[in-house]
Amino acid sequence: MAVNIIGTGSYVPKNVADNQLLSTIVDTDDEWIRQRTGIKERHLSSGSKEGTSFMAIEAAKAALEHAGVSAEEMDLIIVATASADTYVPSTACQVQGELGAIRATCFDLNAACSGFLFSLNTADAYLETGMAKTALIIGAETLSREVDWSDRSTCILFGDGAGAAVLRREEGEGGILASVTGSDGSQGDVLTCKGRGIQNPFYKSRRKKDYIQMNGQSVFRFAVSTVPKYIKRVLKETGLEPDDIKYYILHQANRRILESIAKRIGVEMEKIPMNLDHYGNTSSASIPILLDEVNRNDLLQPGDKIVLSGFGGGLTWGATLVEWK
């Protein structure tokens, strides 16, 4: 049996904020942002009607249509997000309700920017053990509400959007061949976005709403040292060489991080598709949005091998090697 990706979809808001626009909000400029990150523009939500659940639903509809399957066939829906509209119900239950996926078990998963990979890994485990046959996994984020728009070191990095994939356990070979995830909570302080303070009869927190805070250079060092190590691990597990992989679909955080990863695994940049120039870092949505672009541009043929890999707050990381169906 194989666990295949049988359809992909994505959604980004129409509103586009280019670097020039941001330079009117904080003390920055287009040249600094492009040189340090590769980002030219990012898509931002138009308001509460275009939040995380709305974008997740739109990406899910596109993925189901692309896969040619109905919502009723879903046994499992997982939404990776660190910026849900509501604590309860989960975003996954909102997707279920809107799509009418009445048979599905639904929950959200937070592994920051690694969330889509963790969802892929979790869904694979459900499918491999026979607990589910068909699953919908989504990465959806409205990071524009988690960002301090007066902090030039973070507000230039992020964008909003969602990406989705449909997975199915089927007869045959290929599909997900190897998968690895990991976490290091001892380094959690490197990238944080704290929740609400405690308010109860015993305690009144004075904490105000918190925003994303990041030690950019630590995240940079972590990313370039960890991601290549885990990519090499899934290659070794499958007996493949770096050049056997058609594309490395990597978390879109920073062009310099991607260039360094390419160098460390010893492949040309043509194997590392990139769209961060147009979307910025959309956290858990970045890998499925890019996968959808590559897929819809007919760049993948049956038998092609791809690696999905990324890193994020927590700290968290993962890599998955897939033989395309």
Residues that bind ligand ACO in the complex, under the rule CB under 6 A = 28, 32-33, 36-37, 112-113, 152-153, 156-157, 191, 214, 216-217, 219-220, 253-254, 281, 311-313
We find the least distance from the C-beta atom of residue 33 to ligand ACO, in angstroms, to be 6
Taking the complex as a whole, the smallest distance from the CB of residue 134 to ligand ACO amounts, in Å, to 30
For residue 165, the one-letter residue type is A
CA distances from residue 15 to 12, 47, 275, 279 in whole angstroms, order as listed: 9, 10, 17, 11
Spell out where 202-304 has E strands: 203-204, 213-214, 247-250
In the complex, the smallest distance separating the C-beta of residue 251 from ligand ACO, rounded to whole angstroms, is 6
Q: Which two tokens stand for residue 50?
A: 């275009």
Q: Between residues 127 and 289, which has the closer beta carbon with respect to ligand ACO?
A: 289
Both structure tokens of 247: 């594309």
Query: CB of 233: closest distance to ligand ACO in angstroms?
Result: 20
Going by DSSP bridges, is the β-strand pair 247-250/175-183 parallel, antiparallel, or unpaired?
Answer: unpaired
Cβ 231 to ligand ACO shortest distance, Å: 16
- If the CB atoms of residues 79 and 253 are measured against ligand ACO, the closer one turns out to be 253
In the complex, minimum distance from the CB of residue 214 to ligand ACO, in angstroms, rounded to a whole number: 6
Identify which of residues 211 and 220 has a Cβ nearer to ligand ACO in the complex: 220
Q: Which residues of 230-262 are buried (b: 16+ CB within 10 A; e: fewer)?
A: bbeebbeeeebebeebbbbbbbbbbbebbebbb
Residue nearer to ligand ACO on the CB measure, 55 or 132: 55
* Nearest residue relative to ligand ACO (C-beta): 216
Residue 317, burial from CB neighbour count under 10 angstroms (0-12, 13-18, 19+): buried
Task: Choose among 102, 99, 45, 110: nearest CA to 67.
Answer: 99
**Shortest distance, CB of residue 216 to ligand ACO, whole angstroms?**
3
Q: Which residues are catalytic?
A: 113, 251, 281
Where do the DSSP E strands lie in the chain? Answer: 2-11, 16-18, 41-43, 76-80, 105-109, 134-142, 160-170, 175-183, 191-192, 199-200, 203-204, 213-214, 247-250, 305-312, 316-323
Please give the order of strands across the beta sheet that includes 134-142. Answer: 2-11, 160-170, 134-142, 76-80, 105-109
Structure tokens given for 218: 């630590």
Looking at the Cβ atoms of 93 and 253, the one nearer to ligand ACO is 253
And the tokens for 288?
Answer: 């499925």
Helices (H) and strands (E) in the chain, counts: 10, 15
150 vs 153 by CB, closer to ligand ACO:
153
3-state secondary structure of 61: helix
- Complex with ligand ACO: residue 95 or 157, whichever CB lies closer: 157
